[in-house]
Amino acid sequence: MNIDRRKFVLRSAAAAALGTLAMDGSEAAADTEPKVDSSGARPGCPIAVSTYSYWRYRAAERMTIDRCITLAAEMGFDAVEILEKQMHRRDDAYIQQLKRQAFTAGMSICGMSTHQDFVSPDADERAANVKLTIDSIELAYKFGAPTIRVNTGRWGTSRSFTELMKNRGIEPPLEGYTEEDAFPWVIESLEKCLPTAERCGVVLGLENHWGLGLTPEGVLRIVDAIDSPWLQVTMDTGNFLEDPYTRLEKLAPKTVFVQAKTYYGGGTWYTLDLDYDRIAKILREQDYRGYISLEFEGREDARTAIPKSLAMLRRAFSF
């Protein structure tokens, strides 16, 4: 993409986003460009995009990471977060190709989203997930990514993810067990991952996700029990379905990475009308200056919804 076309895309996206805001009755800023400090200091937070935003587990297409990096660069993001499950190749040649691609586009690879499940009474199964997570840490190290998203895992008693979402992320424990049994499993498993995280310089960010991470209290119980600078919090703005701002505020002091959900066109399982000016204020009060990584989960075409999301996040987090 040449410079003139890139400027056109960015200006068009910003104009579209402001048009949407105006139709919603919100004030449209006179200037959509990020604020520029008179000292020349970078304003606000860098805005990244998760490769998940372009793929979203659509069965008909497993969009490659390199294609996502191309789209992110064309749309004007500062960085890319990689969804590990999306990778169709893991060989060193491909990893180095992706690093070079991001570098020449002026973007960093700022993080990686991983999946693991430590909520199991089976010690062998937990050990397998510890190994899986250690492999993910070492992959992030190869990418030069400073953090990975980790989960607690969940009981798996829901018949499907759709059923889990109908139940607002709540599912019963396995018969004969309680959540009090599960917290030590998760804590012990994450502790086994920390030596590799420290050796590789990769911070684990425990996400407020389903399972034991359904509440801020659950996330912080694990992070506080381990008490390590190599395990902190990845804040997902869209995973608290009730009272999100109070709950996000509880996580903010230990947040090292933010995944920001948008739902243009309505969400697949649910839709949240999130106030990003309010979320930015919560993070600003904690002097958060890290990445904001877009996770687009709406039904609108990604080619229009992702640039609108970028423009909205630029405005909210240019403080």
Q: What confidence tens digit (pLDDT) does each residue in 34-49 have?
A: 555 567 787 799 999 9
Residue from 222, 215, 89, 235 nearest 149 by CA: 235
Is the predicted pLDDT of residue 5 greater than 60, yes or no?
Answer: no
Alpha carbons 90 and 130: distance in angstroms, whole number:
19
| Domain annotation for the chain: domains and CATH numbers | 1-28+42-106+242-319 (3.20.20.150), 114-236 (3.20.20.150)
Closest C-alpha to 109, from 92, 117, 121, 97: 97
Mean pLDDT estimate for the chain:
89
Q: How far apart are CA 17 and CA 15, in angstroms?
A: 5
- pLDDT tens digit string along 214-254? 999 999 999 999 999 999 999 999 999 999 999 999 999 99
Rounded to whole angstroms, how far apart are CA atoms 80 and 62? 17
Q: Helices 244-251 & 276-284, crossing angle to 10 degrees?
A: 30
- 259 has a pLDDT exceeding 70: yes
Q: Per residue in 134-154, pLDDT tens?
A: 999 999 999 999 999 999 999
| Total length of the chain | 319
Q: What is the pLDDT of residue 167?
A: 87
Instruction: Please name which of 37, 17, 83 lies closest in space to residue 289, comparing C-alpha atoms.
Output: 37
113 residue type, one letter: S
Rounded CA separation 285/168 (Å): 29
What is the torsional sign of CA 39, 45, 48, 53?
negative
Confidence of residue 161 (pLDDT cuts 50, 70, 90): confident
CB hemisphere CA count around 303 (13 angstroms): 0
- Asked if pLDDT for residue 282 goes beyond 60, the answer is yes
pLDDT level of residue 162 (50, 70, 90 thresholds): confident
